Amino acid sequence: MSTLAYQVANIGDPHEAVLLARSAQSGVREHASATTRALLGERVAWAHARAGETRHTEHALAQVETEYDQRRPADDPSWVYWLDPDEVTVMAGRCYVELGQPDRGIPLLTGVLERYDERQARESALYTSWLAEAHLRAGDVDHAAHLAGRTLDLSSSTSSSRGDDRVALLRSRLDTYAAVPEVGEFLDRCAAG
């Protein structure tokens, strides 16, 4: 149900996604590990962010941190292996970008990306795309275009449809600024690619 909530938040009605995510969270509250509850809380936060609900997003993100701080890895199912402090931070950064608060998201995303290396190309591509979007929302078009180019480079070394979707989104959002040299270069690279 939480995976469905995440999908609905991304491509459907975010208010429906909130209901799905909260239902998934409520359904396992007594039985899930703290890490699992943190993951479900992230889905709630993301759905609220997509719905534009700042206060609810912030509350959900605070709950995620509380749950994650109480984790006991021995209690976790194997499928939550990937949720770590960086992933928790990235989700917070993404939520702030989605809420139109890029100044809150930029330092979170930047801090995580500084710790990543070439072995994490898929994650780097996705999170760099969010950082590019944050800079674009903050009005820093040149830096957004530079990061969009970096996203394109990273995405070309992976076979991730999510990465491709993020490049397409950046391309459409930067298209308005095609006269800016760095944007034009990015758009030309996309067209050639």
User: pLDDT digits over 40-96, tens only?
Assistant: 999 999 999 999 999 999 999 999 999 999 999 999 999 999 999 999 999 999 999
User: pLDDT digits over 102-155, tens only?
Assistant: 999 999 999 999 998 877 889 999 999 999 999 999 999 999 999 999 999 999
How far apart, in whole angstroms, are the C-alpha atoms of residue 82 and residue 105?
Answer: 21
- Residue 137 placed within a domain: yes
CB atoms within 10 A of CB 113: 20
**Residue-range definition of the domain harbouring residue 8:** 1-83
Closest by Cα among 1, 97, 105, 100 to 44: 1
- Residue 127 placed within a domain: yes
- The pLDDT value given to residue 120: 85
Whether the CA torsion 95, 101, 106, 111 is positive or negative: it is negative
Q: Do 134 and 183 sit in the same domain of this protein?
A: yes
Q: Do 72 and 155 sit in the same domain of this protein?
A: no
Q: How many residues does the chain have?
A: 193
- Residue 96 placed within a domain: no
CB atoms within 10 A of CB 90: 23
* Listed residues 18, 52, 83: the one ending a domain: 83
Is pLDDT above 90 for 160? no
How far apart, in whole angstroms, are the C-alpha atoms of residue 144 and residue 173?
Answer: 10
- Residue 8 placed within a domain: yes
Whether the CA torsion 79, 37, 15, 122 is positive or negative: it is negative
How far apart, in whole angstroms, are the C-alpha atoms of residue 28 and residue 130?
Answer: 30
pTM over 0.95: no
- Residue 97 placed within a domain: no
Complete DSSP assignment for 107-169? HHHHHHHTT--GGGHHHHHHHHHHHHHHHHHTT-HHHHHHHHHHHHHHHHTS--HHHHHHHHH
Beta carbons of 67 and 40 less than 8 angstroms apart: no
Q: Do 76 and 140 sit in the same domain of this protein?
A: no
